[in-house]
Each structure stands twice: as structure tokens, then as C-alpha cells.
């Protein structure tokens, strides 16, 4: 019988994770369940860092970035010994089911654990990368997108003043959602993403055509893993062909993971947290809570992890058409 739910955040933190924790805690309590927070993701599950949460424990956190229950990337949980220790914690703490908030690494670990120990696991997608299949958006993506857009707006001021070409490196792991959509929102001249790699000539053309129209500055977004060496490599390539261009490289880095979550991320996290608890009450297991066309859906964890979410072709086309 379901009596106690454990909740953890794992992998790279994302704005809105706190809102999700709050929603899980309060939804569980409202259904007469106990809820225990597990600190530092799977590491805390192994080490037994567990605390019973009340409604007050999640007061005043909906607007805070990061995660109050901490996060970690845990190598030990990848080993059978680590997962056995984690299971011992569940038994000791009388935790009957887990809600895991994170990205594909979090879900991969959670799914394996669920299979090995027959524990119900529900995933909530929390990652700025938006790279999980089965959900239109992940918690943190909208906030990160807005952060990047604001940085581009600021860089535009100095780029135009000095007539420079800025190469801006954007996070995303293997996915180009942040880069492409920030490029559209920021009115950038080009975007280099792993899913569609324009050859360098195309980037030159984008910059060159602007110059021919007396637009002497450009902002090109480079997804962190689209090209070996990232934005710095692209800058070198451009300067080699066009020594007359003055280039500058900006790596946005972990700035992109911080900040107060947007309204969209808070609402998404709140809806997903409530749905995750309901899913457990309904006897669901090993599924991710997703959002599709503004409806909450449940997607098998295996699909969320293994199926590839592609970028929208019309978004790519829009970027290309509007950047000339
Ligand atoms: O998955 C989120 C993310 O920020 C990626 O975009 C990035 O590649 C990675 O995490 C960075 O991880 P870390 O914070 O461990 O350096």
C-alpha cells in the first residue's frame, strides 16, 4: 500500500525544480500521504540523507532557482552495489515509491532501480536542455531560454557599437533546442546546432550578407557540443577566412541554469508535481509526467529516455529566413 513517497532532484539543477518539489510535497500531504525529501539525488538515497517534509518545509520556495534539496551526479548509483544500498535506505525509511526530478540520466537510473527492486518510480522532467521525448517542455527550459535571450540583447549593444562578430556558446548537452530558439528570440544571424550543422560557408554567408547590407555586427549562437572546441573554434574559422572581422567569444556557461523560474516554469512544475502524486495513487509506475498540447500525459520512462526528440523544422526554417 502507498503510504510514503520519496522525492529527489538529480543531475543538473534547473529553475522550477523547487516548485516541483513543493507541488509533490503538498499534493502528497493533501492526499493523506507522508513525504520524505531525499537530499543530493541518488547520492542521498545511498547515504540515507532523508528528511520528512511538512507543508512548511516547502514554503517560500516557488520563486527560487536551484533546488533546496540539492542535486548531484552520482556514479555510485550506476553500480549494483550502490543501488542495493539505495534500496536499503528505502526499506529503512519505509519509502514505498519515488518521484525523481531530473533529466535522462536521472530517469535511466530510476528506471533500472525500479526494475531491479520493483519500486514504483515516477519521473518529472527537470532540465534546461528540453531534450526529453514525450513532453513539449521540461521544467527550467523556459527560464533558461529567457536568460539567454536577455544576454543576447545585452551583447547586441556592444556588438553593434564595436561592429563585431560575437560567437555565443549555449548549453544543451546533445540538443539544440535552447540554441535554436534563443537565436530566433534574440534575432541572431546564425545558429549552429548538432541536429542541423550548417557548413561554415553558410555562417560566413549569413554574416557576409548582413555586411553587404551595411550591418557590420553579428551574433552567432553555437551549441556547446555542435563542434569540437565550441564557440572558440567557430571564431577561429571565421577569422581565418575573414581576418578583417573582429570576433569575440562569450561562453554563457552555468549562468543559464540560475535565476528565478518564469511563470511558465512554475506552472509547469506545479502541474507536473501534482500529476506525479496522482499517478502513484492511480497505481502508475515507471512513467514520466509530460505535457503535450497543454495536457498532462504519462509516458513510459523507456520512451522518454530512448526516443529522440527532434527540433521543429519550421523553427529551423524561421531562423534561416529571418536571419538574412
Ligand atoms: O543538462 C544540463 C546541463 O546544464 C547541460 O546543458 C550541460 O551540458 C551540463 O548540464 C553541464 O553539466 P555540469 O553542471 O555537471 O558541468
CA-225 nearest atom, ligand 1 = 8
Residue with cell 522532467: 125
CB count, 10 Å around CB of 324?
Answer: 10
Question: If 0-12 CB within 10 Å is exposed, 13-18 middle and 19+ buried, where does residue 212 land?
Answer: exposed
Task: For 174-198, write each residue's pLDDT tens digit.
Answer: 999 999 999 999 999 999 999 987 6
DSSP alpha helices (H): ranges in the chain? 17-30, 41-47, 80-93, 104-117, 141-162, 177-185, 200-212, 230-241, 263-281, 301-306, 313-322
Return the CA Rg of the chain.
22
Nearest CA to ligand 1 atom 8: 173
Nearest to 179 by CA among 319, 23, 62, 36: 319
Residue 308 and residue 315: Cα distance in Å, rounded?
17
Task: For 214-260, write each residue's pLDDT tens digit.
Answer: 788 999 999 999 999 999 999 999 898 889 999 999 999 999 999 99
What pLDDT shows up at residue 199?
62
Gap from CA of 155 to ligand 1 centroid (Å): 23
Q: Which of 13, 129, 131, 142 is catalytic?
A: 129
Ligand 1 pocket, residue 171 CB under 6 Å:
yes
Nearest CA to ligand 1 atom 6: 172
Angle between the N-to-C axes of helices 177-185 and 313-322, in degrees from 0 to 180, rounded to the nearest 10: 40
Q: Is 129 a catalytic residue?
A: yes
Amino acid at each position: 500500500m502507498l503510504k510514503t513517497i520519496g522525492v529527489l532532484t538529480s543531475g543538473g539543477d534547473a529553475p522550477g525544480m523547487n516548485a516541483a518539489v513543493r507541488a509533490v510535497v503538498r499534493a502528497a500531504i493533501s492526499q493523506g500521504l507522508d513525504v520524505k525529501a531525499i537530499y543530493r539525488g541518488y547520492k542521498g538515497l545511498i547515504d540515507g540523507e532523508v528528511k520528512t517534509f511538512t507543508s512548511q518545509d516547502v514554503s517560500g520556495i516557488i520563486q527560487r532557482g536551484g533546488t533546496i534539496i540539492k542535486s548531484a551526479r552520482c556514479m555510485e548509483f550506476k553500480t549494483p552495489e550502490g543501488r542495493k544500498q539505495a534500496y536499503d535506505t528505502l526499506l529503512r525509511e519505509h519509502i514505498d515509491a519515488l518521484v525523481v526530478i531530473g533529466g535522462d540520466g536521472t530517469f535511466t537510473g530510476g528506471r533500472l532501480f525500479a526494475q531491479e527492486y520493483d519500486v514504483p518510480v515516477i519521473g518529472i522532467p527537470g532540465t534546461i536542455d528540453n531534450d526529453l521525448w514525450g513532453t513539449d517542455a521540461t521544467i527550467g527550459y523556459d527560464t533558461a531560454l529567457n536568460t539567454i535571450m536577455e544576454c543576447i540583447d545585452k551583447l547586441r549593444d556592444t556588438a553593434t557599437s564595436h561592429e563585431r562578430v560575437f560567437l555565443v556558446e549555449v548549453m544543451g548537452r546533445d540538443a539544440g533546442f535552447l540554441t535554436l530558439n534563443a537565436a530566433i528570440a534574440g534575432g541572431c544571424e546564425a545558429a549552429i546546432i548538432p541536429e542541423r550543422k550548417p557548413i561554415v560557408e553558410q555562417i560566413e554567408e549569413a554574416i557576409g550578407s548582413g555586411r553587404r547590407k551595411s550591418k557590420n555586427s553579428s551574433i552567432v549562437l553555437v551549441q556547446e557540443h555542435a563542434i569540437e572546441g565550441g564557440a572558440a573554434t567557430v571564431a577561429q574559422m571565421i577569422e581565418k577566412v575573414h581576418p578583417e572581422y573582429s570576433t569575440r567569444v562569450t561562453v554563457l556557461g552555468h549562468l543559464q541554469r540560475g535565476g528565478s523560474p518564469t511563470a511558465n516554469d512554475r506552472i509547469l512544475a506545479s502541474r507536473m508535481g501534482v500529476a506525479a502524486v496522482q499517478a502513484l495513487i492511480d497505481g502508475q509506475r515507471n512513467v514520466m509526467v509530460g505535457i503535450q498540447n497543454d495536457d498532462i500525459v504519462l509516458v513510459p520512462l523507456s520512451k522518454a529516455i530512448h526516443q529522440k526528440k527532434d527540433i521543429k523544422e519550421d523553427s529551423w526554417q524561421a531562423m534561416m529566413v529571418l536571419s538574412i
